[in-house]
């Protein structure tokens, strides 16, 4: 894998290089000291993956990510030492197309292992994607409780901003329950929930194991395991399928809804790289759910929605503004 490093700190660049040298499959193709230089170099020599810092002179990592995804799209992983103090920039970068975020490796720490693990995961993502597996929920009994109308949302690359826009018109007295599956590391889920809550009219909370979706709340999958609905309509986390590249997986959640949610609802698949969610959306459509995929024009990365369109999994293919209007209508 050819990797570019974008960082204005020589010490950080050297630490990243030392980490990458541990894997013979990883090759540093170039280094840029700021975002503007990275945009120019991507246009001339496109790498497989860009390791992008956030805080830099001339052009920061958020704007550089936006420009690269617009002009020379490729996989981008934010590698920064300032995650906790710049969470808004983290989600701005992810909204602009960054796939994930990890701490800058520190000599003697475990950051190197974390960085290599993220790169390996992205390698699977930009290569052939693994298919979703099945889950076990034996021993749980079907629920007899009354359930609210459920809106299920799946997103990946560019998802934070797309989810925020999709929910922007949902009223404060929303009568639907909402569950969101966004490809994001568990480290960032609390920050993402808080960030999303500032942009919507309803509470956005982390989905806790054992609770049930409730009207007027949006729940966010919050671990690196897969969120599922059990036969009694409670939420569970499962590590299976362990070898699936997308964690948490939209497909795994959508398939569990098709199997166990006792009423029809609406499912939305937003921008993202790969195919996660398409097969699950088809399962929900076959069960009578109203299924929607974001259109190409408004998707930052037209991967997951395109896969859904190819499978005829989406009853409607809509621009993001129309998705927001639809969610407002069904949540009143």
User: Looking at the annotation, which residues are catalytic?
Assistant: 156, 183, 276
How many angstroms separate the Cα of 252 from the Cα of each of 122, 131, 136, 158?
19, 10, 11, 20
Whether omega before 248 lies within 30 degrees of 0, making that bond cis, reads yes
- Write the DSSP assignment of 157-175 as a string of letters: TTHHHHHHHHTTT--TT--
Q: Is the dihedral of CA 85, 86, 88, 94 positive or negative?
A: negative
Answer whether 177's CB lies under 8 Å from 205's CB.
no
Render the burial of 224-251: b for 16+ CB within 10 Å, e for the rest.
Answer: ebbbbbbbbbbbbbbeebeebbbbbbbb
d(CA 305, CA 99): 16
What are the backbone dihedrals phi and psi of residue 259, each rounded to the nearest 5 degrees, phi first? -80, -35
* Distance in angstroms between the alpha carbons of the first and the last residue of the chain: 48
Give the helix/strand (H/E) hosting 52.
Answer: strand 49-52
Q: Which of 242, 258, 101, 114 is nearest to 182 (CA)?
A: 101
Q: How many CB atoms lie within 10 A of CB 45?
A: 12
In this structure, the dihedral spanned by the alpha carbons of residues 171, 298, 163 and 56, taken in order and rounded to 10 degrees, is -130
């Amino acid at each position: 894998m050819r990797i570019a490093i974008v960082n204005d700190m020589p010490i950080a660049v050297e630490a990243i290089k030392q980490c990458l040298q541990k894997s013979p499959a990883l090759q540093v193709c170039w280094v840029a000291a700021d975002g503007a230089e990275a945009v120019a170099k991507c246009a001339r020599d496109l790498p497989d993956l860009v390791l992008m810092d956030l805080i830099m002179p001339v052009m920061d990592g958020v704007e550089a990510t936006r420009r690269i995804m617009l002009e020379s799209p490729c996989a981008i992983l934010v590698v920064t030492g300032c995650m906790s103090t710049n969470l808004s920039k983290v989600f701005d970068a992810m909204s602009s197309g960054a796939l994930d975020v990890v701490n800058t490796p520190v000599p003697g720490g475990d950051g190197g292992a974390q960085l290599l693990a993220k790169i390996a995961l992205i390698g699977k993502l930009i290569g052939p994607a693994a298919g979703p597996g099945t889950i076990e929920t034996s021993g749980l009994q079907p629920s007899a409780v009354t359930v609210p109308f459920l809106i299920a949302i799946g997103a990946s690359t560019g998802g934070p901003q797309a989810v925020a826009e999709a929910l922007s018109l949902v009223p404060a007295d929303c009568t639907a329950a909402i569950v969101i599956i966004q490809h994001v590391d568990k480290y960032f889920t609390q920050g993402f929930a808080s960030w999303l809550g500032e942009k919507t009219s309803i509470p956005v909370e982390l989905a806790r194991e054992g609770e049930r979706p409730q009207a007027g709340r949006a729940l966010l999958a919050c671990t690196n395991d897969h969120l599922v609905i059990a036969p009694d309509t409670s939420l569970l986390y499962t590590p299976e399928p362990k070898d699936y590249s997308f964690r948490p997986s939209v497909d795994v959640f959508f398939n569990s809804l098709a199997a166990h949610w006792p009423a029809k609802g609406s499912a939305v698949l937003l921008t993202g790289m790969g195919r996660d969610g398409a097969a699950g959306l088809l399962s929900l459509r076959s069960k009578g759910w109203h299924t929607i995929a974001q259109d190409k024009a408004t998707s930052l990365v037209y991967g997951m929605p395109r896969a859904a369109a190819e499978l005829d999994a989406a009853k409607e293919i809509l621009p993001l503004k129309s998705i927001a209007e639809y969610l407002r209508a069904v949540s009143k």
